[in-house]
Structure 1
Amino acid sequence: MSSCSHAEEMNGLHLIADLYRCEPASGLLLERTALETLCVEECRSAGLSPLGAYFYQFVDEHGEAAGVTGTVVLAESHLAIHTWPESGDVTLDVYVCNFSRDNSDRARQLFSRVIDVLRPAEIVNHEVVRGRLPAEV
């Protein structure tokens, strides 16, 4: 049974960011392995539970590394990331459900750490509370 299995218990937090003109210290926007390692390690560091990851390396018409798209599947839900190295742009998406514990602070820590490493010049982000709020009595 998933830790997000009951509709009435699926309350969670979805963090979404568009990151513009990123300037990471290494080739993270171009290198699948480096980006995957960062994302999986930061999930663990935040106290979340990676179950698996899939990252795909795009190549340009000359066979050179281009963008990367990837997902880390978490027991608590997921992290998704997509890069456009030609412009330095990244989309980042972290969703955690709070079925067995409140993972909101863990999600915020993960989200902030990945953004800090990518060093964007501009950030447009949103925080969405997911699920039903408890009924008032």
Structure 2
Amino acid sequence: MKGLHLTADLYQCRCEAAWLTDAQKLGAWVAAAVEATGLQVVNRLFHTFPGTDKGPGGVTATVLLAESHVCLHTWPEQKAVTCDVYVCNFGGDHTVKARNLMLALVERFQPEWTEQRSLDRGEED
């Protein structure tokens, strides 16, 4: 079960507002970004939450990978996004692909600042 788990909290995103509110637009882009890094999409689920008195609803975009998963949650009223990229390294090392995908996700949202973490999962061989 050796793998790599990357997380990023993105603050004050300067991207176009639709990237934070349009589940289909965001989801299609995430799936394309996954494939561009060489990871394999096996399923996807995108959901837009209803708006509130604080503004439009956010989005959850989840892409299941042959290698594990990618999940994003947006908070348009805060211009914030959380990103989660997890890859199993069973049968091959997907570390570079995961890092490239996270870089693409962060660049898409253009945050003023981020908090990123990296966790090596599982035991060494």
- Say which SS state the counterpart of residue 6 (structure 2) adopts: strand
Q: Which runs of 4+ in 1 moved over 4 A?
A: none
Q: Which of 77, 80, 91 is 1:100 aligned to?
A: 91
Q: Does 1:39 align with 2:55?
A: no
Q: Which of 10, 24, 27 is 1:19 aligned to?
A: 10
Contact between 1:15 and 1:128, CA under 8 Å: does it hold in 2? Answer: yes
Q: Which of the pair has more CA radius of gyration?
A: 1
Partner of 1:109: 100
TM-score normalised by structure 2 residue count: 0.94
Contact between 2:17 and 2:76, CA under 8 Å: does it hold in 1? Answer: no
Deviations 1:82-117 (A, max 9, x none): 000001010000000111110000000100001101
Instruction: Name the aligned partner's letter for residue 76 of structure 1.
Output: E
TM-score normalised by structure 1 residue count: 0.86
Listed as ranges, the gaps of 5+ residues in structure 1 are 1-9
Deviations 1:11-32 (A, max 9, x none): 1100001100111135100111
Of 53-62 and 90-99, deviating more is 53-62
Contact between 1:57 and 1:65, CA under 8 Å: does it hold in 2? Answer: no
Q: Which of 98, 104, 119 is 2:110 aligned to?
A: 119
Partner of 1:60: 51
Of 26-35 and 103-112, deviating more is 26-35
Listed as ranges, the gaps of 5+ residues in structure 2 are none
Q: Distance in 1 between matches of 2:18 and 2:63?
A: 19
Partner of 1:90: 81
Contact between 2:14 and 2:110, CA under 8 Å: does it hold in 1? Answer: yes
Q: Distance in 1 between matches of 2:11 and 2:101?
A: 19
Aligned length: 124
- The structure where helix makes up a greater share of residues is 2
